[in-house]
Amino acid sequence: MRILLIFFIYLCGLLPVNAAKLAIIIDDIGYRLTDEAALTLPANITLSVLPHTPLGQKLANDGHQKGHEIMLHLPMQALNGKALGPGGLTNDMSEVQIKQQLQAAFNSIPFAKGANNHMGSLLTQMDDPMLWVMQSLKQQQLFFVDSVTTKYTKASDTANKLGVPLLRRHVFLDNDVSQRGLEKQFNQIIERTKQQGKLVAIAHPYPETIQFLRANLSRLEANGIVLVQTSQLFDDINIATTSQANPTATLK
């Protein structure tokens, strides 16, 4: 009887089959009290938290308790010379310094399953620093999402060589936070997800963005798209968390 019921539901189109998958990552969390609004979004929204920030640890803990997947939003040196804030990786650091800085950043953000770069248009172009980052992630079974802040990024090539699970950002939702700008990008997210089958979008905890997502996420299901946590875009990989698997691990 159960099999017949499932078959009936499938025929009626109520069960998603081979649905397209979308991951939305909210970046830049950790400094502002308003960042807490991101925790009101559905649990399948991923939260990427800046290291060593006043609210980072609390929001990572609270987000995890609410079912959100947590990532480290790792500051990396940009071509424009903008200040990175604490925990940033720069091109004048040695291998030991980069790996120690990365470890300290992960230690500051509990439950992080992976990282994506904050800025990084300079550092992600550099062979050695990206090799050291990927070696560190590989050691702890963590994944990396390339925010693609430069078309010359070497993150994908380096990760592939070492077998580090890697995704690339496809669309930024909120470079323009006007209603028209958000709508334009959200429509692009829907269309590209349907075409590609899997997509990564990045957004930020702006009040306009949070309000827009609350009002429009329901459109995904109507378009045959399932909102998933970022690690669910990988197939059959073992992803640990620094805070659960080995809280005292040291990157070498």
- CATH number of residue 101's parent domain: 3.20.20.370
Q: Is 43 within the bounds of a domain?
A: yes
pTM listed for this prediction: 0.87
For every residue of 95-109, DSSP letters joined together read HHHHHHHHHHHHHHS
Backbone angles phi, psi at 112, to 5 degrees: -70, 130
* pLDDT one-digit tens code per residue, 26-81: 999 999 999 999 999 999 999 999 999 999 999 999 999 999 999 999 999 999 98
Range of the structural domain that residue 65 is part of: 18-233
Number of structural domains (the chain) is 1
Cβ–Cβ under 8 Å, residues 45 and 222: no
Q: Is 1 within the bounds of a domain?
A: no
Residue 4 has pLDDT above 50, yes or no: no
Q: Above pLDDT 90, what percent of the chain?
A: 83
For every residue of 105-143, DSSP letters joined together read HHHHSTTEEEEEEEE-TTGGG-HHHHHHHHHHHHHTT-E
Q: Is 78 within the bounds of a domain?
A: yes
Residue 224 has pLDDT above 70, yes or no: yes
Residue 241 has pLDDT above 60, yes or no: no
* pLDDT one-digit tens code per residue, 185-221: 999 999 999 999 999 999 999 999 999 999 999 999 9
Q: Is 217 within the bounds of a domain?
A: yes
pLDDT interval class at 2 (50, 70, 90): very low
Q: Is 5 within the bounds of a domain?
A: no
Residue of 151, 97, 87 whose CA lies nearest to 129: 97
* Whole-number pLDDT of residue 14: 45
Instruction: Indicate the average pLDDT of the chain.
Output: 89
